[in-house]
Amino acid sequence: MIKQRRIWSWLLIGVMAIAIQFLAISGANAAVTDYLQEQKFLTNVWQIVNRSYFDPEFNNQNWYKVRRQFINRKFNSREETYAAIKEMLATLDEPFTRFLEPEKFKSMQTSTAGELTGVGLQIAVDEFDERVTVIAPIEGSPADLAGVRSRDRIVGIDNIPTKGLTLDECANRMRGAIGSEVKLTLERPLADGKGVEKLDLLIKRDRIAVTPIIAKLNQEGDHKVGYVRLNQFNGNASADMEKTLKKFKAEGADRYVLDLRGNPGGLFDAGLQIARMLISEGTVVYTVDRHGVQESFETKGDAIINEPLVVLTDGGTASASEILAGALQENHRAQLVGTKTFGKGLIQSLYELEDGAGLAVTIAKYETPLHHNIHKRGIIPDVEVSLSEPITRKQLGTNEDSQYIAALSVLDGTYKNVIVKSAN
């Protein structure tokens, strides 16, 4: 009986040993599988950039060596892989190519579709001094109503300095639940250009419905002027613009003012479609890829309106709105009135990754119809008119808007001291 018990004991010990060994092997296999999955995920991001990025020199570095530096690391979680991807992309030293976690990627897709939540700011990193700069507040957004302006510098978010933070880190700190508050510390250049004003703004987050177009038909003397304010090139912009132009045409508009002030851009295709509604014939824009190959985008002869047109611009006019402004100016379709545009001449493409995260990659730069590169330079308007002080949304496109008044006089041919300058 004792011998039998010993046999069963040894059998039990043997089974346990085999089970432990099996679990150890299974655990090791799972760890290897997880490791390979994270490597595969990082490699996929690397390959997208390798195929698509507009700079063939990858910021003067060997992109294959960069891959080796990161692929040999051991990632214990997807969050660690995310961090490594951000570190890898940072070597490009180009803020518009960036990784977006699933929530941020979904938020960006929602924004281009026409609605979002938060404070309503379009921001960029100034490539001269690497400071976070407001391109433009979205019209009617909490930031707009609180008084944030184009070209304001965001130096702090809830008392956290923004120096050293990425665009996405800044954007993430400004996001939050509807009704919650965030404090922005801003630096604003003084009117005389000597020094800056520092101010704190407490902003309550809210849902932001982005209405791409605000339009009205103004009776100005003997003329009916279609005033069209285009706020953003989102998914609704081109359809809304087509509807607006056809409506004004039917109502007898014989002149137009297109207001691109504070328009931070958006979808490239939307800008292209709207340009074709306004220009009968000519080149809208050239794109130049990493190989120096130029692709031209032409109008198709199906412009909706051909009446006289003036475009209003300022420092918040950026990206796709600069494509449109440059096309109208250099095809002699319209004169630009206002101040110099922002100067963003790069085009990004969005890639969705397997886990719902996303990747924004700069795939090309664009040139105006006369082959001007406006990146970091902006477009100088034909008629330079500055606002002596900010105006409210209700004043836009009225006789209290000095730039709009200047646009009307340009349409009449009565504007004095016209300063005509080239785009570069």
In-domain check, residue 421: no
Count of domains observed in the chain = 3
Is residue 205 located within the same domain as residue 221?
A: no
Tell which wins on pLDDT, 9 or 424. Answer: 9
Average model confidence (pLDDT) for the chain?
86
Is residue 259 located within the same domain as residue 382?
A: yes
Q: CB neighbours of 155 closer than 8 A, spacing ≥ 6?
A: 131, 132, 161, 162, 163, 185, 186, 187, 198
8-state DSSP, 240: H
In-domain check, residue 200: yes
Tell which wins on pLDDT, 409 or 21. Answer: 409
Among 155, 181, 209, which residue terminates a domain? 209
In-domain check, residue 189: yes
Task: Say whether 77 is catalytic.
Answer: no
Is residue 318 located within the same domain as residue 234?
A: yes
Sorting pLDDT into bands at 50, 70 and 90, what band is 116?
Answer: low
In-domain check, residue 418: no
As a whole number, mean pLDDT of residues 123-136 equals 78
The DSSP bridge pattern shows strands 181-189 and 206-209 to be: unpaired
Is residue 249 located within the same domain as residue 304?
A: yes
Q: CB neighbours of 418 closer than 8 A, spacing ≥ 6?
A: 382, 383, 410
Of 220, 213, 214, 204, nearest to 237 (Cα)?
213
Whether 407 shows a pLDDT value over 80: the answer reads yes
pLDDT in the model for residue 14: 56
Q: Which residue has the tokens 């991807």?
A: 85
Is residue 218 located within the same domain as residue 147?
A: no
Check if the beta carbon of residue 133 is closer than 8 Å to that of residue 125. Answer: yes
As a whole number, mean pLDDT of residues 277-293 equals 93
Is residue 228 located within the same domain as residue 187?
A: no
In-domain check, residue 107: no
Is residue 270 located within the same domain as residue 368?
A: yes
pLDDT in the model for residue 20: 55
Is residue 337 located within the same domain as residue 243?
A: yes
Is residue 404 located within the same domain as residue 350?
A: yes
As a whole number, mean pLDDT of residues 171-182 equals 88
Residue 243 to residues 15, 231, 254, 286, Cα–Cα distance (Å): 77, 16, 17, 27
Q: Could you say which of 104, 340, 344, 365 is catalytic?
A: 344
Sorting pLDDT into bands at 50, 70 and 90, what band is 11?
Answer: low
pLDDT in the model for residue 422: 36
Sorting pLDDT into bands at 50, 70 and 90, what band is 390?
Answer: confident
Among 58, 93, 128, which residue terminates a domain? 93
Sorting pLDDT into bands at 50, 70 and 90, what band is 161?
Answer: very high
Range with lowest mean pLDDT among 309-313, 337-341, 355-359, 389-393: 389-393
As a whole number, mean pLDDT of residues 326-348 equals 95
pLDDT in the model for residue 72: 82
Tell which wins on pLDDT, 367 or 129. Answer: 367
Is residue 312 located within the same domain as residue 393?
A: yes
% residues pLDDT > 90 (the chain): 58
Sorting pLDDT into bands at 50, 70 and 90, what band is 419?
Answer: very low
- The pTM of this model reads 0.73
In-domain check, residue 105: no
Is residue 247 located within the same domain as residue 392?
A: yes
Q: Could you say which of 107, 111, 141, 319 is catalytic?
A: 319
Sorting pLDDT into bands at 50, 70 and 90, what band is 2?
Answer: low
DSSP-derived secondary structure for 326-365: HHHHHTTS-EEEES------EEEEEEE-TTS-EEEEEEEE
Q: pLDDT of 50-79, one tens digit each?
A: 999 999 999 999 999 999 999 888 888 999
Q: Which residue has the tokens 């150890």?
A: 24
Range with lowest mean pLDDT among 32-41, 183-192, 272-281, 285-294: 32-41
Among 181, 209, 237, which residue terminates a domain? 209
In-domain check, residue 110: no
Whether 203 shows a pLDDT value over 80: the answer reads yes
Task: Output the domain CATH number for residue 62.
Answer: 3.30.750
Task: Output the domain CATH number for residue 124.
Answer: 2.30.42.10
pLDDT in the model for residue 123: 85
Whether 130 shows a pLDDT value over 70: the answer reads yes
Point out which residues pair with 338 in neighbouring strands: 313, 384
Show the domain range for 185.
Answer: 115-209
Task: Output the domain CATH number for residue 348.
Answer: 3.90.226.10
Whether 421 shows a pLDDT value over 50: the answer reads no
Is residue 317 located within the same domain as residue 294?
A: yes
In-domain check, residue 106: no
Task: Say whether 319 is catalytic.
Answer: yes
pLDDT in the model for residue 141: 87
